[in-house]
Structures are given as C-alpha cells and as structure tokens.
Amino acid sequence: MKTKNPTLHQQIRDLAKAKKAIILAHNYQPAQIQDVADLCGDSLEMSIKAAATDADIIVCCGVRFMAETAAILCPDKIVLLPNLDAGCPMADMVTPEALVKRKKELGGIPVVTYVNSSAAVKAVSDICCTSANVIKVLNTLKEDEVLMTPDRNLAMYAAANTDKKVHLWEGYCPCHNDLSVEAVKASKAAHPQALFIAHPECPPNVLELADSIQSTSGMIRFAGESSADQFIIGTETGLIYPISKAHPKKTFFPVSDQLVCTDMKKTRLQDIWDCLENMSGRVVVEEAVRIKALAAVKKMINIK
C-alpha cells in the first residue's frame, strides 16, 4: 500500500531533522501519518519513547492526553500536538474534583487511572496504567481494593484477571463500547478461520468472544507469534494498517467498519509541517499539576 505524499512527507522529515524533533504516532493514526513518524506504537510505547528521547521537540500524533503525557515526562522539551482539536471523549468523562470526592467516599483506596485521562486527573491518582500493563499495575499494589478510572470496561477486564476488588468509574470509549456481540458474531461467521483479537476497552460480553485481549501493539505482536494466518481485529480500524504492514503474509479483517475514532483521524500531514515550522500546537502542563501527575505516570513506567 503506497500512502505517502512524497513532497510533503520529505519536507516533514527534513524539517524534523533540522529542528531535532522526533515524531511519535499512535497506531490508530492515518496511514500517511504513521509513515512519516519515527515511531508508531500503543500508549505505553509512546510514553516510554517520550521519556527516553534526546530530541528537543516531540511531535505527538494522537490525541491530547498523549501529548500531555509526553509533556508530563519531558518538561524541558517542546511537545507539539499537530491538531489541538484532537481529544478523547473518554478522558472527558472524569474530572479531578469528582475523582477526589469518590476516593474519599471509598476511604482513600488507591486510584488507578488509565492514561486516557487529563493531566489534572492523573495528578490526583496514585498510579497510571495503559491497556498493555493494567493487570501488572494492579498486581504491584499491596491494597486489595482499588478505584479505576475512567474506563469501566478496562476496569471490569482487570477485575476479572486479578484478585483485586475494583470499583468502577462509569466512563467508556464511545467507539469500542458500541461494538456489539451481534457484530462480532457476524464477523466470525464471515471469517470462520480467523482468530478474534479484542481491545480491553470493548464491553465484557464482546471480550468473552475473544481469542486474545490485547493493547494495539499487543495485537501486532500476537498476530506475529500466532500460527493462525487470519484475524478479526476488535479495535479502532486504524490498526489494520500497521498490523498488515508488520505481517504482510497474514490477513486482517476489521470487526466492524463503524469502529472509528474521529479524534484519532484529525491529524493531517500539513498539520505536522505547520506545527514544526511555526512551533504551534504546544501542549504545556502547569508545573504544580505536572509534578503530581509525573509521580503517577513514573510509577507505571518503572514497573518492569
């Protein structure tokens, strides 16, 4: 699949080199954005890369919480979000005030916050997690009871796979949460040889039908390690591009063409060039918030 706009693609690469910038892209980004990036990955990989880079500028092609996470980890670097309108509806389903209140009602139990959240929410959390490490994160906590926010589906998945009592927050990803059992069954009937890999943001009745539950990069690894050669992909349709590129001899079917995150599709090549050229789209996290959020993000990244 040829996706590059050769002129603009090369201009972006030249500009990134001249400005000592690294371009990170999430696995759901449009194909031409993934192609121009230095690194594509899931939320965990993007945070780890941001924490380790020696670039002066981090261009974060994804949604706002990803750029905020980079800004939390790298206060001395310039973090740019090419399209400032790219947000995450699930991240907006929790506020720091409501979270502090709920934690108090529950007697101060640890709050485990999915990285799909604002910096302000991370700042009042004990530890962060991603879809790739949620079970590991819960298992590192000595307490038996936790409050997880904002994704209730991820929390139910974690509860089913640990011994912890998990209190839910009523947030969800609108696109994953809408995936129905009927759509999965129809896809399985159409592709009877295929394994079904699902993202933990899907509802529990969908996860019950999965052969494997993975983060986006986990899906790419799973497909490589599996002896199967056909897969139904139960996550945002953008993943079809990197997973097919990584495993060109295998076949991948989106479980539903409705599973599209409009925010993840907002980045255009021109936005990347513009933000690098004009140093626009800068994401800064207020220092008092950053210091507290950093503790929760660092605790997660330091888990081996």
Contacts with ligand 13P by CB under 6 A lie at 27, 42-43, 88, 116, 130-132, 173, 201, 215-216
Q: Is residue 175 within the footprint of ligand SF4 (CB under 6 A)? A: yes
**C-alpha angle with apex 246: 243 to 251, nearest 5 degrees?**
55
Q: Is residue 223 within the footprint of ligand SF4 (CB under 6 A)? A: no
Backbone angles phi, psi at 123, to 5 degrees: -65, -25
Stretch that binds ligand SF4, among 99-107, 127-135, 169-177, 226-234 (CB under 6 A): 169-177
Q: How far apart are alpha carbons 59 and 80 in whole angstroms?
A: 5
Q: Measure the N-to-C terminal CA separation of the chain; round to a whole number of Å.
A: 36
Q: Is residue 89 within the footprint of ligand SF4 (CB under 6 A)? A: yes
Across the chain, how many H-helices and E-strands are there? Answer: 15, 12
| Shortest separation between residue 256's beta carbon and ligand 13P, angstroms | 16
Q: Is residue 45 within the footprint of ligand SF4 (CB under 6 A)? A: no
| Shortest separation between residue 17's beta carbon and ligand 13P, angstroms | 27
Identified binder of ligand SF4 from the candidate list 58, 109, 154, 173, rule CB under 6 A: 173
**Hey, what are 263's tokens?**
């925010």
Q: How far apart are alpha carbons 65 and 173 in whole angstroms?
A: 14
How much of the chain is in helix, strand and coil states, percent to nearest 5?
45, 15, 40
Contact status, residue 276 vs residue 255, Cβ threshold 8 Å: no
Closest to ligand SF4 by CB, 75 or 204: 204
| Shortest separation between residue 199's beta carbon and ligand SF4, angstroms | 9
Closest to ligand SF4 by CB, 74 or 88: 88
Q: Is residue 63 within the footprint of ligand SF4 (CB under 6 A)? A: yes
C-alpha 230 chain-centroid distance: 24
Task: Give the binding site for ligand SF4 (CB under 6 A).
Answer: 63, 88-90, 116, 173-176, 236, 261, 263-264
